[in-house]
Amino acid sequence: MQENNNGKEVWREVQRYKVGDPVIFNESADEFFKPEDGSLPLVHNNTQGRINDFDILDNGLPTERIQFDIEINVPLINLNENKQIFEIVETSDKSSIIRFAVYKNKSTDEDDDDSTKSVIPFQIAYAVSIHKAQGLEYDSVKIIITDEIDELITHSIFYTAITRARENLKIYWTQAVEKKVLDRIEHKSNTTDLAFLGNEIT
């Protein structure tokens, strides 16, 4: 999917980042964005966003960094911004653009105080696993279930997957996989869930 994105790009080792890429912050974000006063980070694991822009700082020097502008789906205010390690570039009632820098070259010294800032705290998220998507919502969700993983799809996993969609849901599977998954799912006595599943699967 990233191949269809014609935005400007930057490489960091084998990973490519493009303006317009959807991202999801991972577990390293909790440490990366931890404020100096030890309070909880405003940007944390599972925060969703999109790369709005990037710039290269100190190009060619040992301190070379990638400065990312990320639009996140969280409205932030400038209160206590000086305690954060990011800058709030822009904010609205639905989202904010934050700016932070990551060293372009990964640190090999785990005792280095700056080693945390050499780890990019997000991953490209054109697709995410059902497990990673727990607690998240999207306007449009496409689920791919192949015969290699159909045995792993339980009632709760399937329910979690299809309830991530706010508006549009599409499931890609063969008729054989569909039958195997639906036959295996243990239908609960909750009639609301059963009615929902019946309406969503076409």
pLDDT tens across the length of the chain (202 residues): 898 999 999 999 899 999 999 999 999 999 999 887 888 888 999 999 999 999 999 999 999 999 999 999 989 876 555 567 899 999 999 999 999 999 988 765 555 556 678 899 999 999 988 888 888 888 999 999 998 887 888 888 999 999 999 999 999 999 999 988 888 886 554 445 555 555 655 5
Q: Alpha carbon of 16 to those of 6, 59, 193: distances in Å?
A: 12, 17, 41
Confidence at residue 189, expressed as pLDDT on a 0 to 100 scale: 41
| Cα dihedral 18→19→20→22 (10° resolution) | 60
Confidence at residue 175, expressed as pLDDT on a 0 to 100 scale: 93
Distance CA 66, CA 108 (A): 18
Confidence at residue 24, expressed as pLDDT on a 0 to 100 scale: 95
Domains of the chain, by residue range, sit at: 2-124, 130-200
Name the DSSP class of 41.
Answer: P
Other C-beta atoms closer than 10 Å to the C-beta of 159 total 15
Confidence at residue 81, expressed as pLDDT on a 0 to 100 scale: 59
Confidence at residue 84, expressed as pLDDT on a 0 to 100 scale: 76
Contacts of 121 (CB under 8 A, 6+ apart): 25, 26, 28, 29, 32, 33, 43, 102
Distance CA 62, CA 64 (A): 6
**What is the pTM (predicted TM-score) of this model?**
0.77
Query: How many helices (DSSP H) and strands (DSSP E) are in the chain?
Result: 5, 10
Distance CA 146, CA 191 (A): 28
Confidence at residue 40, expressed as pLDDT on a 0 to 100 scale: 85
Confidence at residue 109, expressed as pLDDT on a 0 to 100 scale: 58
Confidence at residue 80, expressed as pLDDT on a 0 to 100 scale: 59
Cα of first residue to Cα of last residue in the chain, in angstroms, is 25
